[in-house]
């Protein structure tokens, strides 16, 4: 994930300073990996975080990224959340 973000930032130039800062904050907050997701250019990040570090991770990101900017702070409830990975896509083939 980390190398993918670097590739998006350096080779494809589809990151931005805000995304780079958020990825750095996430990595310092305990994420194992973090990268931009979606189209980039100011989109979102996705991070892998061990379950036992999740609450501290969310609080650190909230303080370091969202509380430093009034516009971000207004969006944090819809922007900062945890999910669990699912099984992924399935393809059903009828015989």
> Which domains are present in the chain?
1-78 (3.30.70.3170)
pLDDT digits (tens, 9 = 90+) for 21-75: 999 999 999 999 999 997 656 678 999 999 999 999 999 999 999 888 888 888 8
Is the separation of the CB atoms in 80 and 61 below 8 Å?
yes
Alpha-carbon distance of 42 to 34, in angstroms, equals: 15
Is the separation of the CB atoms in 43 and 19 below 8 Å?
yes
**Higher-pLDDT residue of 25, 13:** 25
What confidence score (pLDDT) does residue 39 get? 65
What confidence score (pLDDT) does residue 42 get? 66
What confidence score (pLDDT) does residue 73 get? 83
């Amino acid at each position: 994930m980390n190398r993918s973000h670097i590739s998006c930032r350096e080779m494809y130039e589809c990151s931005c300073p805000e995304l780079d800062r958020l990825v750095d904050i996430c990595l310092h907050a305990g994420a194992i990996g973090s990268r931009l997701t979606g189209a980039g250019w100011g989109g979102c990040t996705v991070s892998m975080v061990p379950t036992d570090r999740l609450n501290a991770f969310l609080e650190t990101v909230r303080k370091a990224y969202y509380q430093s900017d009034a516009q971000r702070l207004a969006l944090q409830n819809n922007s900062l959340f945890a999910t669990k990975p699912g099984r992924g896509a399935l393809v059903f083939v009828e015989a």
